[in-house]
Every structure is written in structure tokens, then in C-alpha cells.
Structure 1
Amino acid sequence: MRTRAMRIIPVTLAIGALIAAPLSAFAATQPSLAQAAVAAATTHAPRGALVSAEQIARLTAAELDKAALDSGFVGAPKSRYDVTVYRVIYRTIDPEGRPTTASGIVVLPNGRRGALTVAEYLHGTTATKAYAASVSADSTDRLITALFAGTGLAAVAPDYLGLGLGPGKHPYIDTKTETSASIDLLLAARTFSARHGVTLKRDVLVTGFSQGGRATLGVGRALTRGEAGAFRLGDLRGVAGPYDLLNTELPAVFAGQVEPHVATMYLAYFTTAWNRTVGLYNNPREAFRPPYAKTVEGLVDGTHTEEEIANGLPDTPAKLFTKAFYAKLEHPTGRFRQALREADQICHNWTSPVPLHFYSGTKDTDVVPANSTACATALRARGTQVTVHSMGPTNHFATAMTAYPQILQTWTP
């Protein structure tokens, strides 16, 4: 679960921006906005069709540099361009393959025209709709995406389904829709960018943090398989991702390697989301102890802040789950185990045509670094060239703060 330290950006990022409304106001208006977005797209509109776009921020290169420094991205290259941030709503599909919409951002470097390389940034765990990059002026995800544009790249970042102005609930850790929402944003961005005199080059640079680090592999696989039209994979960099759920991340939770309060929030979000897509319980009372059985699904419906979610949960998974369901999570069997195995195929059933880079921190107690080594071993066996970069004794968020200046340096045109 993301924390305030990874979400709050200094006031410089909000200069010239559309400041996000208070969460209570957003929660009251968001359903109607999302419904309007769905209604605005015709039934027969293809995936990746652009529904709407609006400018939400303009940032100078100096403002970007100050925000990066103040936020802890030490060593990031100096921005060469002012940038403009746009919120787009576009057509995509839900977990059942039915038409829906999603939101995201497209960030363009001011003054650049012609053919630009596109960088796609995939965000980490966010349980609150209003914290998405397309809505919150305080979003670290918006900053990272803008920093890529500041180097001269065209940059995009999906909110995924059910976040930002997307309708419904977010299907957390759902590789299928993380991938489809990300691919479809690329298609929408191509249409949008052309209106601003920018053509997106074929090769896509893909990176993501935490949940987004895992999603990075799904998007890389889809690009490799030709699932994004003319786009293809140009580079692939995952930061602190839970790539290996079944054999690494879940066992680490029950071995005490993940901070208990963090594990509780992750598992509450994961369990309720997977119950909608996979089916883990018939009644919340089967999975959750009282009084949480009555409240946990509502806590993670996208309208509550992360502080509210944390305050509404116990401090350990054992206090949240029933004894039987706790055992099910610790030792998955049947349909649940099969779903985990299928999800973890991102490390097994494809070969990247470009070198893959993982970034991990040895003090990460959210997503244990063994995820990177396990996935790297599996992908190397398939012929992928993989490098695991250690960011040293850094925690989960410090890993990102250390890795992204390096990635920015690597990708600067």
C-alpha cells in the first residue's frame, strides 16, 4: 500500500496546475463523471479510442527540477523542456472483456514536434480513486511521468481500471486489465498526440514501480506479441515489483519478511479484488473476522483515503482473516493456486526481445527483493537477458527514489 511519503509532492508541482478537489467532493462527483465518460463513448468505439482530453497542468523545467529534488529523486537529469499534462479518457475493456473506459495522463514536452519516443510509466498500489495521476496534483506518479517528458520524451501513465475517473472498482493485481488499460492508453495517446503535431515512434520504453513493476512485464509481453498495433517493445525496467506471488511474495508475508501492518493492507485489497475476478469466498464472514467482515469491502472501494483504510484494519493479517482463510492464503490450493500460477506466468511464458532490468532494495519490507531474483532466473531460462540492479539498503519507496534518476539518465534522448 502506498504511503503519504510516496504520494505528496511539494507545492512547486501544483504551480500552474489544476489543483485536485478535496476527496469528499471528488467522491461525490466521480461516479457521475465516470458514467458520463462511458456514455460519451459509442458502443462500437474500438479499444484505444479517445473519449476526451483536457489540459490539467503546465510545468516549467525549473519547477520539474525543484519538485524532483524536493521529493527525493536525487541525481535526476536536469529537465530540458517545459511540459504540459493532459488527462485523457479512453476506451478499454473490463475483466470480462466488456467495453468500459479508463483515465490516464499524456505529458508532452512543450515546443517539440515530429516523431518522439514514448515512455509509459505504470504506477504502484493506489487504493483511492482521487490519488490517481490524472486527478491529484500531489501525485508522485504524475511527477515521474512529467520528468520523462521533461527530457524530451512523450510520456503516458494509465490509472488502470477503476481509479481516477474510471468507473467501478479497481481489479487490483489483475495482469490482464493492467495490460489492456496500458496498451489501450498508448493507442489513445497516439491519436491525441497527433493533434499536437507529435508522432509517437514505434518503440515504447516501459517502466513501473511496485504493482506497476509487475504490470511492466505484462505490458512488455503484450508489446512483444504484437498486441498494441504498430507499437513494439523498446526497453523494459521494473522497480520493486511483486513478480512472483505464489512462491516468493506470499510466503514472505507469512514468514514475517513483510511489515505486518503493510501486509494487512495489501492482503485486504488483494483478497477483495480477487474475490471479484477469481472468486475466493461466498460471504465476507468466510474470510474476515468480526467486525471487519462488515467493513473491509467498503474500505477498499476507492472512495476512502489510505489513512482511513489503515485505521479501519488491524495491525496483522492474523487479526483480519478467519483461521481457515488465513490458512488458505498461506497454503493456496485449487482454483486460487491455479490463478496465482497463471498470474505468475509473466515470469515464465515469454521471452523479451530487449534486455530486461530489475531494480530492488535490500531493505524492502513491502515487496521482498527475492521477487526480482526469482523472476530473473525464470526469464533467463527462456533466453531473456536480465540484469538485477541492487539499490543497496533501501526500503520500498527509497528504491524507487534511487532507481528513477538512473532510469531517467538512461532514457534521456
Structure 2
Amino acid sequence: MGVVRVLIHCLPFNVLVNHLNKRLARFVFLVWAGLATASFTGCSKEAAMPRLAGEGATAPDAYLVSSTLIGEYPASELAARIPEVPIAGALVRYPIRVYRLTYRTRNTDGQFIMASGALLVPVGTGQALPVLSYQHGTIRPDEEGRAPSYYRSGSEVWSVVSVLASTGYMVSAPDYIGYGASKAFPHPYEQAASLASASLDMLRAAREFAGQQQVTLNQKHFLLGYSEGGFATMALHKLMEEQYSAEFPVTASAPGAGAYHKSAFADYILKVDKPLSFLSTYVWVLDTYNRVYGINRPFAYYYNQPWATQLQADLYSAVPDRAALLFTPAFQQGILNRTDQAMLAAFRANDIHDWRPKAPLALFHGTADDYVPFFNSKDAYNAMHLRGATQVELRPIAGGNHFSSVTEYTLQAYAFISQYR
């Protein structure tokens, strides 16, 4: 194992990727596939306009509220967490300490609330640490325990992300609003502003914690995330570069399979005449935007019966797989004919594909993704290049769907950010 370890830390990562076997692929798929599982939660009826971090109310003197040591895990234990893939254990280099942080962030109404996340710190590196912000994917409301701050066996933070931390990154993994310390609030699903601000404020809390614990950090910040985590990663990258580049310079980011072009995605859903397995996810998105942007329409405006009554009682219930059956003609026509100005504005507020990033950014996406279509990443790549971005790459995963692509995403995204470390 010692020889393998030396090879892994000396070879270029693309060479390492070629040596990882099918058992590793199977493991990564099983762990990460949950990121793309779509579902939804109940709604709160407050009308609120979203604000990004730093807008509106005065920021607190400190973001970090408390920290709790969850545990310290030796390298041998981390390697043993992946018994199906012995070679994957060779990626493990350092023991890690895992902490649960609670911190201040703003809810969608601009008010400060308590949020939480996990902080993974490698031990004994002997050098200043780069920071990796990891944005998790969709978490079902009945699987709230998968949020990073719970750090439970079987979750991606407990396994794959712990291995990433053990290679020498301090990993900041926010729960987002709606999980952990903020679980009393509805999760603002696929709402760019809150995903970005909750992630940024977790980074602030992590930096404060590092100062208290005398953990030396360098100025490198890397961003990773898949599915909703890919959308959150893109939103965070945009926020950091456009408003907080001096505070948190982005070194490189690698979002995967995010719904970056919400307006085009809405048109696609309402136009396509075929079964769509993800319509229940769109119900959650509509509920979030209807609430957060103060539109506050009744369910019967969006959904045909009997699903309007059914969804009002249980937003988590099953829906038909064809848009024409689920959505009312009035709603469909309002979007496609461009007359529903309120919801169209909400979609535009969450179009995060058309801007000019400066740091290296790689867009990973399966070309056969029928859950979050590939055009989301392609549109982002094209729009960014038209704006003069020179360090944006489109990394198609040929033939991959939303679930089968997670293995290649994980390996290639880590390889991508590692070259800038």
C-alpha cells in the first residue's frame, strides 16, 4: 500500500483516474447518486424577497456562533470506509477532525438566522491549507439526516468528501437553509441567492474557526458540487467573484449537472411532449419561487385537479409524468407566451448561466441527462465565452445520464481543481 500511496501522490491525477477500477466506479455511484434524488417539502407562506450576503442589514461582527467536535478519524479508518475499493484507500493521506459549526446567515427575507454545516480539517499536514467549499445535492425532506452537519455513515460527506479532506483540503460543507440548525425553515430549493449566501457565510464561519484553532489557511478557494450542489456552486462562484473577490478569491470551481438556465429549463418542461421523471422536483421549485418572491398564488393556479388539492395537502405526493396533465393551461400559456411577468422574473433571477467568470471553471454534465438537460451547461459555456471568459471549459460526459455521470464527475472534478492547488 505504501508504494501505491506514493504513486497516487506523485502521478498526474488523470493517470490515477485511468487506474481506478470498476469497483471504485460502483462505490462512487452508490454514494453520490443520492445527490440527484429529487423530492420536495411543505411550504411556509411568508412573502419575502431574496437578498444576497452583504445586502441590506448590517453584517454581524462574527458569523461563527459555536463549534462542536464530532470526532477525529485516523487515516486507516477513513480508508476502511471504502472496503469495496481497496485502491481508493490509498487516496487517504491525513487523519481528519470533523466539526459541526453553527453560524449566522440570512434567510430569504433578509433576516439573520442560525444555520449549520460540517467542517472537515486534515491534521498534521505541516502546511497552510487550501479551502474546498462542497455544496451538497438535493436532500429529501424525509432524509434530513443526510445533511453534512449530521456526519452520518453512508452520506457523501462521511465517505467521499472525507477522503477529499484527507488529501489536504479544509472542507466547508454547508447544510443550506432548511436543514440542521435551520430545519424549522423551508429549504429554498434551487434559489440561487440563498444557496450562495448560506455557503459564503459558512466559509466566513470556517475562517473564523480556523483563526480560533490556529489552523493556517492559504488564499486558495475551490468549489465543488453536483446537481443542486452544481447550481449552488455556480451561484457561489458568481457571488464571490462579483461581490467578494478580495475577501474570498476563487481559485477554481467545478460544478456538475446544475440547472443554470432556469428560463430555458421552464420552457423545455412545458413544451416537451414526453414523460418527465422529474416533474415532482419542478413542483418544489415552483413552490419555492411562489413563496420567496411574494407571488403567493394558490395551488389551483399552477396545477390541474385532482393534483392541486393533493399537492396542497402533501407537496411530497406523486404527480403525473406529463406536463400537460399536471400544469394548468393558464400557467403554461403565461410562461410560453411571456405574459406571466411575476414568475418569468423569478426564473430570470435564477438564471446564473450568463456572466463572466475570471477563475478557471469546468462545467461537467452528462450528454444524455434527461433529469437536468445538458443544454444548461452548454448554454452557460456559450454565454460565458460570448462575454469574453477565457478560462471556462465544457466537459461533456458522453452518454452519461444524471445518475451514471456522477462517478466520472467526481474523479474529473477532483483532477481539475488539483492542478491549481
Scaled by the length of structure 1, what TM-score is found?
Answer: 0.78
Q: Distance in 2 between matches of 1:257 and 1:405?
A: 35
Partner residue of 2:280 out of 262, 265, 271: 265
**Is 1:106 matched up with 2:111?**
no
Q: Structure 1 residues 7, 136: CA separation in 2 closer, same or farther (over 3 Å shift)? A: farther
Q: Is the 8 A contact 2:289 2:343 kept in 1?
A: no
Q: Does residue 284 of structure 1 match 2:318?
A: no
Alignment partner for residue 412 of structure 2, among 399, 406, 413?
406
Shift, 1:86, TM fit:
1.6
Q: Is the 8 A contact 1:271 1:280 kept in 2?
A: no
* Residues 321, 65 of structure 1: alpha-carbon distance in 2 compared, 3 angstrom cutoff: farther
Q: 2:7 matched to which residue of 1?
A: none
Q: How many angstroms apart in 2 are the aligned matches of 1:69 and 1:367? A: 32
TM-superposition CA deviations, 1:336-385 (whole Å, max 9, x none): 112222321x2224x22222110111221111111111111111111212
Equivalent runs, 1:115-194 vs 2, <5 Å: 115-128=128-141, 129-135=144-150, 137=152, 138-166=154-182, 167-194=184-211
Contact 1:299 1:312 in 2 (8 A): no
CA gap 1:69/1:272 in 2 versus in 1, 3 angstroms: farther
In structure 1, what residue type is equivalent to 2:218?
Answer: K
Quick one: distance in 1 between partners of 2:181 and 2:405?
29
Q: 1:342 aligns with which of 340, 346, 349?
A: 349
More deviation, 85-94/51-60: 51-60
Q: CA deviation at 1:74?
A: 9.3
Residue deviations 1:380-405 (CA, integer Å, cap 9, x gap): 11121211112221111222221111
Aligned match of 2:329 in 304, 323, 330? Answer: 323
Q: Residue 105 of structure 2 aligns to a residue in which SS?
A: strand
Is the contact between residue 281 and residue 287 of structure 1 (CA under 8 Å) also seen in structure 2? no
1:146-189, Cα deviation, whole Å (9 max, x unpaired)? 22211111011111111222131011111111111111001100
Shift of 1:100: 1.0
The CA distance in 2 between the partners of 1:66 and 1:318, in whole Å, is: 49
Aligned to 1:358: 363
Q: Which amino acid aligns with 2:63?
A: A
Structure 2 CA distance for aligned equivalents of residues 382 and 59 of structure 1: 45
Q: How does 1:380-395 map to 2 (within 5 A)?
A: 380-385=385-390, 386-395=392-401
Cα offsets for 1:69-107 (capped at 9, x unmatched): 75x999797121122222211001011211112111110
Measure, in 2, the Cα distance between the counterparts of 1:230 and 1:282.
Answer: 39
CA contact under 8 A between 1:108 and 1:153: conserved in structure 2?
yes
Report the AA paired with residue 347 of structure 1.
H
Aligned pair count? Answer: 365
Kept in 2: contact 1:73–1:404 (CA 8 A): no
1:251 aligns with: 267
Report which stretch shifted further, 160-169 or 290-299.
290-299
Gaps of 5+ in 2: 1-28, 36-56
Contact 1:162 1:170 (C-alpha < 8 Å) held by counterparts: yes
TM-score, normalised to structure 2, is: 0.77
From 91, 97, 111, give the equivalent of 2:104. Answer: 91
Q: Equivalents in 2 of 1:215, 1:388: separation in Å?
A: 18
Query: 2: distance between equivalents of 1:57 and 1:134?
Result: 12
**Alpha carbons 1:104, 1:164 under 8 Å: kept:** yes
> What SS class does the counterpart of residue 181 from structure 2 fall into?
coil
User: Quick one: which amino acid aligns to residue 285 of structure 2?
Assistant: F
Q: 1:33 aligns to what?
A: none
In 1: Cα distance, 2:102 partner to 2:373 partner:
34
**Do the aligned partners of 1:52 and 1:89 also contact (CA within 8 Å) in 2?**
yes
C-alpha deviation, 1:119, in angstroms: 0.5
Please, which runs of 5 or more residues in structure 1 have no aligned partner? 9-42, 301-308
Other structure's SS at 2:319 match = coil
Evaluate the alpha carbon distance shift between residue 282 and residue 410 of structure 1 in structure 2; reply closer, same or farther with a 3 A threshold: closer
| Partners of 2:369 and 2:125 in 1: CA distance | 39
Letter of the 1:110 counterpart = V
Secondary structure of 1:107's counterpart equals strand
CA distance in 1, matches of 2:365, 2:229: 14
Match of 1:375 among 377, 380, 387: 380
The one-letter amino acid paired with 1:96 is D
State whether residues 258 and 365 of structure 1, in contact with CA within 8 Å, keep that contact through their aligned partners in structure 2: no
1:170-221 deviation digits (Å, cap 9, x = unpaired): 1111111111111100110011123333123222101221122122222112
Percent of aligned positions with the same letter in both sequences? 27
SS state at 2:412 partner: helix
Partner of 1:13: none
Bigger radius of gyration: 2
